[in-house]
Every structure is written in C-alpha cells, then in structure tokens.
Structure 1
C-alpha cells in the first residue's frame, strides 16, 4: 500500500480559540490584543470574504479573506501597500532594519545580496548539513530515557539553530545554541507583544515594562553578533572558489556594495540582518516542527503512516540525506501544520493611493489586514477547516488548494526568501525525528496558541518522549515503539 493510499485519515480537531459571536468592547479588545491577538476575532472573520472592522483605538480596518483580492494586494499592486506603523514599530524593535523590515530601495538592495544563498542549487546543497544537525539533535534526545517529559518547542528550536549555524553562518555563533535560543525566545516574547503604548502611538523611546524586562537578552544577542562580525572582519574568507553555495550570510552582507557608488551596508544593517536570520530563521522552523509533533500526537493514524514513510526512506543509512520529494506525507504534515498554526499569523498593509479590490474602493491611508490564522481556517475556502488533514497537501490533492488561500510564507515580491530552505529543513528534520522517537502531549497540559511575531504555544510544549528502535532496513513499519 502506498503512503498516499493511507488517506483519508481519522478526524482530529486540535485546540484553537473559539470565534466570538460579537466584537469586543474597547477595554476587552485592548486586553485581548495585548495578551493574545488571536482572541479578538468574531465568527464573521472566519466566514466572510471581506469584513469591515469597527473603528476603535486602532481605527477602521478592512479584513481581507478573498484570494483574488489578496493577489491584488500582495502581487498585482504590491507597491501600493506598505507595512503600517504599528506593525513596523513591533518588528523594528525586535529585528531592527534588516531585510524583513526594509522598504523600497533598501529592501531591493538587501534582497539582491542575500538571494543567491537561497537559490535552488544552494538550498539542495544544504541537505547534508541539515541532516547532520538533525542527527546531532537525535543524539541529544537519545540521552533521555523513555517517559522523559521535554519541552519540544525548546528542543526543536535548538535543532533549527544548529541548522543555521551549519549552513548560513559558517564560523558559528561562538555562543552555545541553548543560550542563543533562550535569549531569542525571551526577547521575542517580550518585545514582540503588542502593548498599550504601541496602540496609543506613544514615542518609541518610552520602552514599556515588557521591553525593559528583556533588555539584557537584547544586549546579549547584539553582543554575540558584534563578536561574529569582528571575527569575520579580522579573518575574511579566501575568495578562491567562493560562490553562492559556499558563501554564508555574513560574508555576503559584509561584501555587499552598490555597483555605482561602491557604498556597502551600514554596520547596523549588517547586524540587524544577522539578527533577523538568526531569530526569524530558527523561530519559524522550530515552531513549525513543534506544532507538527503536537498534531501527530493527536492523530495516531497519521503518525503511524508518517513513521512508516520515514522508515522506508531513511532505512538504516543515516548518512544519506533524503530530499522532500522522497517524503510526500511528511512534507504534507509540515504544510498542514503551517495551515492550522501558521508561524507568521498576521499581515497588515496601508494603502498609499486609492485602489479597488474585490469591487470595493480602498482609500489612500486605509489599513487592510490579511491574517493567515483566519485565512487558513476560513469556512468558504477549506473543507473541514479546523480538522488536521495532511491529505490536503498530498500530490493528488494539493493542486485544489487556492494559491492565495494558503500563505505560510507570504506571497508576491516579498515572499519569505527562505521558504524553500525552511520547508526542506522542516521536512527532513521531522522525518529523522519520527524515525527514532514518538512524542505525546504531557497529561493535563492544555495547549494555547499565542500570537507574538510568530505563533507559539503559551508555556511551551511539554511532551513525553518514547524511543523507537532505529530502522534496520528500508522496509516501512520495520520498527515499533519500545
């Protein structure tokens, strides 16, 4: 029996905030927005293609769930729609002025510098390093006996950081991975939350209590990057044989210069881009893996089929790096996990000039919202939208998914530059984890997805580890939990 023939799977509806029947009042809205913005949405937001949101302290907004209208905003007329001040305020205090927050000419210049590192050839060349990071993570997990409760979010974050260190940062972080992960998580938890100061638009030099609490983490991460930059400047790599496949993020940023002016990136732009790739690059993949393991714990039939696929492809040869084309179900699990729990759950844009989308006039200065959390669970766009069904993304069904109804990496010119890298990494790491371990949610722990810059489980994701016998052949189902 082929893996694809294992679908349809049993219905599993994972936890999510229940839609509200009516909009919140101003004070309740502010409390929800600063605690967990996922809790502000009404049932209408999950059902209608356009929703005019009431003017409160943020002002009137248009929620857009129509795929063709989203195409207009993100692709056809993307130059007319820029990030709004509130979104930029939160992003810039967490990841600075790097590629993700830059606009216009600054964005084009930075993307041109970084793009060669994420070409199809370069990404496929990273497979051995990704496999090595996964195996190092497996070795760390193997030291824990059966029944150990581990925070899977922390474990997957460490593996994702290791992948970055082995691929995009050739000289390493010069700081232990676990320490980098702790600083990054605490900083994004504190600085990535919406605060009353943000909503009221008070001056950014007023930091707020949450930001004050994580200043030490910010300083530690900045100091780490400064050391990396200083070490590279002191001992630059030899140019002989250096191409997109052998360069890393740091060498590309330091060598960048405009052909006409000869002016390169500023010291801050280099630092902020490094911080962006460390923070966003490991947070998104680490949480995607965590949500996938959580969902599989609630869907034993899907997990058994994914384990069988991983066993069949990996066999006993741990050195052979499988590609995502060899793992259609494991890849589908990752994609469905990013549908239900998108690591980037919120986008907003402000119109520079008047426009028309979906037959609706958009005035200059209007704020439009595209919310993958809502879009991916929309009643008109998905069958059984709240059910975990990776079969949606198997080869025989994935073409039926509307292009602009699924935005795990955004879309258009500003689509995530590392999307192919992240999907390859997450698929490969998940397959190797499934071939050796089985995780189940710790009894009594309630999972609550919470929106910061990324979507994360509040309080972590404690799961019980069980060892599986390492595959001894390429036969699917050759091993069982012990």
Structure 2
C-alpha cells in the first residue's frame, strides 16, 4: 500500500462550469482573467470560441502549439488585444516589437544572453544574493514575517541592475518596487475597451493615472542612459562593457534608434526581472508546504556549497532546487498567456487525422496557465510535484507542453539567465534560512501581466 501523503495542491481557481454571460465575462476578466477558464480549457486539445465579433482558437495540443510558434511562425503576429495592453507600456521593446524592429533588437541583444555569456554573470548573481540575504540576519535572534513577493522583486532588481547595468540604474531600489507595483496595477490589466477591441485613442478607464507612473519609468530610463553616455564620453576605458553599453554603442541608423533603446531598457528594467521575482516567491511558498522535499533541497544546497563549487556550476549540482523552481513556474507561469493572430488562413492535421482549420484573422490563444494544468498532459496537474522536472523524468515531457519561456524564434531571450539566477538565489536564501507560511499566508493567483499573489505573500523567516 502506498502510504505517501497526497502532494500539496496550492491555491488556484477551479475550472468554471457553464457558459457565462458577456457581462460576467467582462467582470471576470477585469477582476482576474485566470478565473475565466472553463472545464474544456483544461480537458480538450483545442476549442474555438466567439466573444462579440472576435473568434478565438484556444490551443493546448503540443503539436498544434509547435505549428503556430515554430513551424509556421511567419503566419502569426501578436494579437490586437495583447498589443492594446502591452504597447502603451513597452512600445517597441523586445517583448512587443514586430517585424524588422524585433529582428534588429533580437540580433543586437543576443550576444549578451548566450548560455556562455549568461554563465559569466554567476559571480555577480551570487554577490547580489549574499548582500540581499543580510536583510534576514535578524532571524538569527528571532523569527519574523516578511512579504516575500516584495522581497523577491527587490532581489531580482538588484541582480538585474548589477549584471546588465553594472549597478548604474538611476533609481533607488525601494522606490522602484513601489513603482513596479503601481505600473502593473494601473497598466498591466485588461480593460473593457481592450476586450471590445476599441481603437487605442479611446481612453481606458482602468488605466486612469497610469500615464504618471509610465512617465516616471521613462524618466528613470532616460536618466540611466544619460549617465552612461557621459561615462562613455569621459572615461571610455573605465566604462563597463555591459548590456547598457552594448545598446548605446549601436545607437544610430545602422543599429537601434534612441527610442528603441529606451523601450528595450524599459522592458528589461520594468518587466525582465518581474517574471523571475514572481516565480521565486511562488517557489518559496510551495516548498514551505512540502517539507520533505524542502529537506532534500537543503541537503543538496549544503553539499554543493561545502564542495566549494563555483556558482556557475550550481545549476548542474542542484537538480532538486531547479526542479522546484520549474514546477512552481508550471503551476504559476510568470507569463500566463501567449496571444497571436493568424495573418492568413492556415490548417493543421493531428497525428490521429483530426484537421484544425485556422481562419484568417482569428485570435489564437496559447495559455500556459491551462496547458500546464491540463489533464491530457500532466499527472495530478494541480499538485506541486517537482520530481516531474528531475533529469530522469524530463524526457517524458513534450517540449511544447511546458512553456514558461515561450517557444520558437520569440522564446524568452533571458531563459538561461533566469534559471541560473533562480538556483543561485534560492541556494543562498535556503542555505541560511527557512521560509514558512503563517496564518496570514493565503495567496490567490491573479493575472496582471505576470501571475501574482493577490495581497502579497507574507512568510515567516527563521534561521536554519
């Protein structure tokens, strides 16, 4: 008889039952889009729906996902609703740019994020994590409670600022975290006008006040660029050869425009760290509710650190730590939706002979949120089971059933960076401290560009 306890099922909306009215759909999307999805989204390989005049193909089948994101990627562009939400924030940053602008930006930034180059950041990631964890030193005397959602935002900002900008970002960390929260609250949500595909010039009621925080971010970026330009002019040899310098060195007609550089810096400062921050917080929460697995992680971390291995080696030495982070990203994907639209009519045939027609102009929605919890592709899909991602089990997973970083040409450029950062950060924190839930720890996932815990994530920190 199997006497093992049932695995932990962290909180998440249950599949909706029945067909909601238009008004209820709008209310749900405004409150939390993750609560919208019904039983078919978690059980069928694809579904076609219609809202007002917009037809949408919801895709879960890994083969069809590959067709859209890889095999026939040229036929799919960012959907209009996604553009309406993201472009006011990021404009022509790497996440939102299309066509030649995207190609230029991707080509320009690719050298910084190659796996070889990303490994070179390991030492800086370790130093930033060790400096950050000193804030928990008081737990040596007495445990205390902290909001780890905010803490992880500060930690990943510290790492991003140090690795890509050599610490020369024109903003204080404390004010930055508050600005990120306000930006996502005001600008990172779906507005009823977006759902109705209203023109961009029509005001979005939910984003009233958003322009002020956007201007604040733009001023941070402008000042950061100005500071670095002065250093490049005054002390070329002493200028850090980092991401910021690389972008400014290709400024001009043959590279990226000033506006495109500003958009990309904003994308990385404002959004590039946010996805990793959310995943780290959810990992600490899930691990706290899985004490047996946490002990395995702690032993793995202690062994690797005692060996004297360099941080660049930790990713390979800590498979259980990496697996916990990847499982947290499965349950709480940092980017819960991938939105495309068919430029021309298309079709795909499944291995069993079923034919899917994809009409011109139809919105195509690939939802990591539902895909990662889909009954056709996962055993106990709502449960936190990191062993799915241990090396001996990974070969069982289809490449296109797990999309925390997307797939195809637009796969997240910082995927290797993020995985290395996460393992180093978790190892440094968990080597010295334990994070446990409290009576106030009742997170509920909400979609605000990223998958966030509503109301934060208070956890008790104690010394190991």
Describe how 1:62-141 pairs up with structure 2 within 5 A. 62-141=57-136
| Separation in structure 1 between the aligned mates of residue 280 and residue 313 of structure 2, nearest angstrom | 17
The structure in which a higher percent of residues are helix is 2
1:17 aligned to 13, 18, 28, which one? Answer: 13
1:163 match: secondary structure: helix
The corresponding residue for 1:146 is: 142
Return closer, same or farther for 1:9/1:318 CA change in 2, 3 Å cut-off.
Answer: farther
Describe how 1:424-435 pairs up with structure 2 within 5 A. 424-435=420-431
2:378 match: secondary structure: coil
TM-score where L is the length of structure 1? 0.90
| Separation in structure 2 between the aligned mates of residue 340 and residue 81 of structure 1, nearest angstrom | 27
Unaligned ranges ≥5, structure 1: 1-7, 469-482
The corresponding residue for 2:380 is: 384
Deviation per CA, 1:218-266: give whole Å up to 9, x if none: 2221111111111112221766699xxx6322212222268xxx43322
- Displacement of 1:10: 5.2
- Displacement of 1:462: 0.8
The corresponding residue for 2:352 is: none
- Displacement of 1:354: 1.1
Return closer, same or farther for 1:308/1:9 CA change in 2, 3 Å cut-off.
Answer: farther
- Is the CA contact (8 Å cut-off) linking 1:127 and 1:323 kept in structure 2? no
1:305 aligned to 296, 308, 322, which one? Answer: 296
- Is the CA contact (8 Å cut-off) linking 1:376 and 1:406 kept in structure 2? yes
| Separation in structure 2 between the aligned mates of residue 179 and residue 213 of structure 1, nearest angstrom | 17
2:403 match: secondary structure: coil
| Separation in structure 1 between the aligned mates of residue 314 and residue 142 of structure 2, nearest angstrom | 30
| Separation in structure 2 between the aligned mates of residue 249 and residue 319 of structure 1, nearest angstrom | 23
- Displacement of 1:206: 4.0
| Separation in structure 1 between the aligned mates of residue 82 and residue 68 of structure 2, nearest angstrom | 17
| Separation in structure 2 between the aligned mates of residue 74 and residue 369 of structure 1, nearest angstrom | 11
The corresponding residue for 1:399 is: 395
Matched residue pairs, number?
454
- Displacement of 1:368: 1.1
Matched, 1:447 2:443: yes
Bigger CA drift: 181-190 or 387-396? 181-190
The corresponding residue for 1:191 is: 187
- Is the CA contact (8 Å cut-off) linking 2:331 and 2:384 kept in structure 1? yes
2:392 match: secondary structure: coil
1:466 match: secondary structure: strand
Bigger CA drift: 322-331 or 232-241? 232-241
The corresponding residue for 2:318 is: 327
| Separation in structure 1 between the aligned mates of residue 423 and residue 347 of structure 2, nearest angstrom | 39
| Separation in structure 1 between the aligned mates of residue 177 and residue 27 of structure 2, nearest angstrom | 28
- Displacement of 1:321: 5.6
- Is the CA contact (8 Å cut-off) linking 2:191 and 2:205 kept in structure 1? no
Describe how 1:358-373 pairs up with structure 2 within 5 A. 358=349, 359-373=355-369
Describe how 1:174-253 pairs up with structure 2 within 5 A. 174-236=170-232, 247-253=241-247
CA root-mean-square deviation: 2.0
The corresponding residue for 2:281 is: 290
Deviation per CA, 1:426-464: give whole Å up to 9, x if none: 111011111111111221432110011111101111111
The corresponding residue for 1:465 is: 461
| Separation in structure 2 between the aligned mates of residue 200 and residue 62 of structure 1, nearest angstrom | 17
| Separation in structure 1 between the aligned mates of residue 57 and residue 204 of structure 2, nearest angstrom | 29
1:396 match: secondary structure: helix
| Separation in structure 1 between the aligned mates of residue 73 and residue 5 of structure 2, nearest angstrom | 39
1:346 aligned to 337, 351, 375, which one? Answer: 337
| Separation in structure 2 between the aligned mates of residue 207 and residue 168 of structure 1, nearest angstrom | 35
1:400 match: secondary structure: coil
- Displacement of 1:214: 3.3
1:263 match: secondary structure: coil
